[in-house]
Structure 1
Amino acid sequence: MRRKPEARTSSEERVSPDKQDPKLLRRTEAKGKVTYWSVLINIGKCLLLIVIIPPFLNYASLQREGQMLVPKDGQIVDVGLGQKMHLLCKGKGIPVVVLDGPAGMSSDIWFYIQESLATMTKVCTYDRMGLGFSKRSMQNETTGTEKVWGMSTTGRMVDDLHRLLQAAGVAKPFILVGSALGALNARFYSHIHDMQVSDLVLIDPIPEDIFEEDQWKEYWLGKLVPSLQARQFSAATGLSRMLIILGAIEPSIKGEDVPEEVIQRQKYLLSNPAHQSSAVDEHYFLNESAAQVRDITKFKPLSSRMTVSAITADSFDGQMPEHLNQMVAKLQKKFLEESYPSANHVHIKGADWRMIYEKPSAISQHLKRLVNQRQAEQQSQ
């Protein structure tokens, strides 16, 4: 009997690649390429949305918040040449207390101290040019001082502050208080305009020759400034706003007794690349600012009728390496002994420059004593 042919196996039924229809092969390859490119295009679209949308939304939010969050009690003062600066004064009476903050900080840094002092006299804080609600000046708007002092340096800041206080009609003489970079500004101002200042208060003052130390320059210009530049980039890309929403970044001044508008204002500035850019510049040119103060104090001594107080803490910055804090403390002590030997020295334990808002009562107590002394003198005259 004849055998039936066996059924072909599936492997036998397969057509070898070299015998497949070329058209079918091309269609299959084309389909694979289309799928591959479709995936790439979709990924590209997602990346494009991630790159474009956050900055766009951040910019739109900043435009709205910039109008809404200006302090209700504050004023935008025209200081000439098209420049406008934000000034916030609270309380009534004399002597007026003028507060100038650390590098890169807006006037909100003085919230606790201003609220405390405003119960007994007038207290004014302000935003330096480019910070907070004081806009940068345009390139064609000039007083000429930046050609001498340079932008974002103490010389220019003091000129801005002088024009601001003149335009706002702040009563003189006043008590001038500065912290860190603000202390450099306060010293410069007091030596130049000595008749306008009755008392000079230096909080955590920066030694003039600190940048002569290589370790300090390496830390300040090699680590701190780049970290601030990264923060500026984060604000420009909208990443800061996203991190704030997620709770990864929080305002420095917070608590039950801090108004919601102050908290929102800090979030606005953390997300504002213009504010962050000015903060970078103030830190970058701090060496030049210190040199300007050193020169001006040699050129024009401080008035003998002016009292000087220095308020220091255990460390300059608790987030800084300990050996650098020790270096600053040593230079700070030397500079105060040489420049202001008769200064009243107040030391606050367990604090650094953040004592302005972390331990404000200790600073407020000293300032209140100064105010009481000046008010008693005025009443006795």
Structure 2
Amino acid sequence: MFVNGELGTYHVRVKGDGKVTVLLECGMMHTLHQWKYLQEELSKYAKVITYDRLGYGKSGIWTTERSTEQQAFECYDMLLALNIKSPLIAVGHSLGAYIVFQLSRLFPNAIQSMILLDPTHPTLEEHEQKFYDKLLYQFAIMMKNANQFNLTKVIPNKLINKILKTAPDNQLEMISAVKSYKHWKTVVSEWKNLNYSNLRIKDALKINMNIPLLVLTASNQSGLQLNLKKKKELLHKVEKYHIEYCETTNQGNRQTLEGHTHSTIYGNNEENAKSIGQIIKKQIELLN
């Protein structure tokens, strides 16, 4: 369905019912289809909201640059339009963790519990991820330019599916995203504003709040072919960064999920969604 807020029009999917509402906030470049399996799993226990941020999927266009602070304002705008009355758990993956973390600081009464799935962190972005981020930013610019001149129209859909290894029920959405100027314009803006977003999160980390906060860290922190020693060193650093989120509340907890990567920790298939869903279910039960 479509929801009209003060800041834009949002494509929203609501599934399930219950005394608790769960908001799932996408990572960079993703649409609400990222949450297909986890939303289905969690809808057994709660009302679950997924949505496309402005500029993504079927949501409307944006007029203000894509800092995560601005996107937190828009997330709140969407929640107001939905008129949510029940206790709200906000779950954010990757860059989406920035958005829900800012949401909790900008609107302290908006959410009652927070879960961050392998969250982005300012220090991680400024050091360990810096080179990788530059490559992705340049790739996003290339895709934006290619779509501006309709160059992606000639790419066979079968080739896109093969490269992305997309599940059959998400193929149309992924093809649409790859061949969308609006999509890549949004991605480029998010990358352009990442330094600003990092600074704002540094400020937000100084504000303490007394709400439950759970951080889940993926044990496999690199898609690169690092040796075992370097992988352990990187994981140790990421765990240290993630603990900083937990230290902003006296109800903060963190755990490392063995066998998970940054791309599986949000429940990218039925099996992973079930295991992640059981962890989130415990947080739902605390608010019931």
Question: Please, what TM-score do these two structures have when normalized by structure 1?
Answer: 0.67
Which consecutive unaligned segments of at least 5 residues does structure 1 have? Answer: 1-74, 139-145, 376-381
Equivalent in 103, 122, 125 of residue 50 of structure 2:
125
Equivalent in 195, 216, 223 of residue 109 of structure 2:
195
Cα separation, 2, equivalents of 1:344 and 1:289: 24
RMSD: 2.4
Rate the CA distance shift 1:78–1:175 in 2: closer, same or farther, 3 A. same
SS at match of 1:197: coil
* Greater strand content: 2
Q: Is the 8 A contact 1:76 1:87 kept in 2?
A: yes
Q: 1:283 maps to what in 2?
A: 191
1:98 equivalent in alignment to 2:23? yes
1:372 equivalent in alignment to 2:285? yes
Instruction: State the 1:361 CA deviation.
Output: 2.2
Rate the CA distance shift 1:181–1:281 in 2: closer, same or farther, 3 A. same
Cα separation, 2, equivalents of 1:249 and 1:232: 19
Cα separation, 2, equivalents of 1:172 and 1:229: 41
Q: 1:163 maps to what in 2?
A: 77
Rate the CA distance shift 1:316–1:127 in 2: closer, same or farther, 3 A. farther
Deviations 1:317-365 (A, max 9, x none): 42x4638966753443223333414533232222222112153222111
Higher relative contact order (CA 8 A, sep 6+): 2
Instruction: State the 1:241 CA deviation.
Output: 4.1
Question: Which structure has the bigger radius of gyration?
Answer: 1
Paired amino acid for 1:276: W
1:235 equivalent in alignment to 2:159? no
Rate the CA distance shift 1:284–1:115 in 2: closer, same or farther, 3 A. same
Equivalent in 257, 261, 264 of residue 352 of structure 1:
261
Instruction: State the 1:307 CA deviation.
Output: 0.9
SS at match of 2:175: helix
- Number of aligned residue pairs: 278
Cα separation, 2, equivalents of 1:212 and 1:269: 28
Instruction: State the 1:374 CA deviation.
Output: 2.1
Q: 2:240 maps to what in 1?
A: 334
Deviations 1:8-66 (A, max 9, x none): xxxxxxxxxxxxxxxxxxxxxxxxxxxxxxxxxxxxxxxxxxxxxxxxxxxxxxxxxxx
**Correspondence 1:246-325 to 2 at 5 A:** 246-250=158-162, 251=164, 253-255=166-168, 258=169, 262-298=170-206, 300-302=207-209, 304=210, 306-318=211-223, 320=224, 322=226
Cα separation, 2, equivalents of 1:252 and 1:281: 26
Paired amino acid for 1:292: R
Deviations 1:213-243 (A, max 9, x none): 2x6323312x121122222333344443433
Deviations 1:71-126 (A, max 9, x none): xxxx2211115x21111111112210000011111111011000111122210011
Q: Is the 8 A contact 1:104 1:282 kept in 2?
A: no
Paired amino acid for 2:75: L
Paired amino acid for 1:347: T
SS at match of 2:58: coil
Q: 2:36 maps to what in 1?
A: 111
* Greater helix content: 1
Cα separation, 2, equivalents of 1:133 and 1:248: 20
Cα separation, 2, equivalents of 1:182 and 1:274: 19
Question: Please, what TM-score do these two structures have when normalized by structure 2?
Answer: 0.86
Q: Is the 8 A contact 2:246 2:253 kept in 1?
A: no
Cα separation, 2, equivalents of 1:91 and 1:170: 14
